[in-house]
Amino acid sequence: MIIHNLDTSNSVLNHFVSEIRDVEIQKDAMRFRKNIERIGEILSYELSKELHFSESTVQTPLGEKIISKVTDNIVLCSILRAGLPLHLGILNYFDKIENAFISAYRHHTSPEEFEIKVEYLASPSLDNKILILADPMLATGSSLCEVYEIMKKLGEIKEIHIVAVIASTQGIDHIANHFPANTHLWVATVDQKLNAKGYIVPGLGDAGDLAFGNKL
Ligand code: URA
């Protein structure tokens, strides 16, 4: 797996990540969603540098200019529901791509044990396409692996790019063993710990709840 941790150099990205982590600022759900969206935009910009380009000519009112543009067919798949603000941010930059949605949630068999349940999938064919998988919190990595097992049946995927906001080192190690070696991981920052419930520490809490409110 090729890991791109954007935290290794300072940028305005730090401000957005700091706000989603901050226990007071994150209470503003609209701001929380907006910051995740902005992080999605920055990660998309970085990711775009690894795509395939070919030259085309643009006609301006005053002349012609040759510009390289992305040629890949891309499908963006987000894991519901926390992935939605990240999905919007990525879509702001790759506005003509296809979209897929999959639900994956933790079904707790005890307070500290869970299995991943997938109940909903809507996706185009993935044949010869770049698959971007958006999951804001890469904690244990189990949901991403479960999702990959399902998505790989939808066609011969050309290349996979995983986009995450916060990843745990344990989660990264886990997915590195499941995804093809040429898979890229784009992450805004990495934390070292998971707690007994599989939450990232210090992390930010429950991204789905912060974006969309508590659930039963
Ligand atoms: N999902 C979240 O929203 N937060 C975590 O820390 C882990 C999984």
Question: Does residue 62 form part of some domain?
Answer: no
Within-domain flag for 64: no
Cβ 147 vs Cβ 104: under 8 Å: yes
Q: What is the pLDDT of residues 181-191, one digit of tens each?
A: 999 999 999 99
- Other C-beta atoms closer than 10 Å to the C-beta of 33 total 20
Calculate the alpha carbon distances from 180 to 21, 83, 123, 136, 152 in Å.
31, 22, 20, 20, 11
At 216, the pLDDT band (50, 70, 90 cuts) reads confident
Q: Is residue 38 part of a domain?
A: yes
Mean pLDDT, rounded, for 90-98:
97
Any domain includes 77: yes
Which of the four pLDDT bands, split at 50, 70 and 90, describes residue 108?
confident
Distance of CA 127 from the midpoint of ligand 1 (Å): 31
Q: In the structure encoding, which two tokens stand for residue 65, read together?
A: 């200019």
CA of 137 to the centre of ligand 1 (A): 5
Residues contacting ligand 1 via CB (< 6 Å): 82, 137, 139, 199-200, 203, 206-208
Q: How many CB atoms within 10 Å of residue 98?
A: 15
For the record, the structure tokens of 190 come out as 């990495």
Among 9, 215, 51, 26, residue whose Cα is nearest residue 136: 26
- Quick one: DSSP state of residue 134? E
Name the closest-CA residue to atom 7, ligand 1: 199
Provide the pLDDT for residue 69: 97
The pLDDT tens digits of the residues spanning 117-162 come to 888 999 999 999 999 999 999 999 999 999 999 999 999 999 999 9
Q: Report the candidate in 216, 207, 215 with the shortest Cα–Cα distance to residue 32.
A: 207
Q: How confident is the model at residue 194 (pLDDT cuts 50, 70, 90)?
A: very high
How many domains, in total, are found in the chain?
Answer: 1
In a domain, 118, yes or no: yes
Domain that holds residue 41: 2-53+71-212
Residue 60 covered by a domain: no
Quick one: which atom of ligand 1 is closest to the CA of 201? 6
| Residue 30 falls inside a structural domain | yes
DSSP string for 57-94: EEEETTEEEEEEEE---EEEEEEETTTHHHHHHHHHHS
Q: What is the CATH number of the domain that holds 154?
A: 3.40.50.2020
> Tell me, what's the pLDDT at 104?
85
| In the predicted structure, residue 88 carries a pLDDT above the cut 90 | yes
Q: Is residue 59 part of a domain?
A: no
* Range list of H helices, 139-204: 142-151, 169-176
Give alpha helix (H) positions in the chain: 13-21, 29-48, 84-93, 142-151, 169-176, 207-212
Q: Which of 105, 170, 199, 214 should be mutated for ligand 1, with most atoms under 8 A from CB?
A: 199
Task: Tell me if 40 sits within 8 A of 85, measured CB to CB.
Answer: yes
Q: Indicate the pairing of strand 184-191 with strand 2-5.
A: parallel
Ligand 1 center to residue 212 CA distance, Å? 14
> Whose Cα sits closest to atom 5 in ligand 1?
199
The pLDDT value given to residue 126? 98
Q: Is the pLDDT of residue 199 over 90?
A: yes
Residue linked to tokens 């210090």: 202
Per-residue pLDDT tens over the stretch 20-54: 999 999 999 999 999 999 999 999 999 999 999 99
User: 74 pLDDT exceeds 90?
Assistant: yes
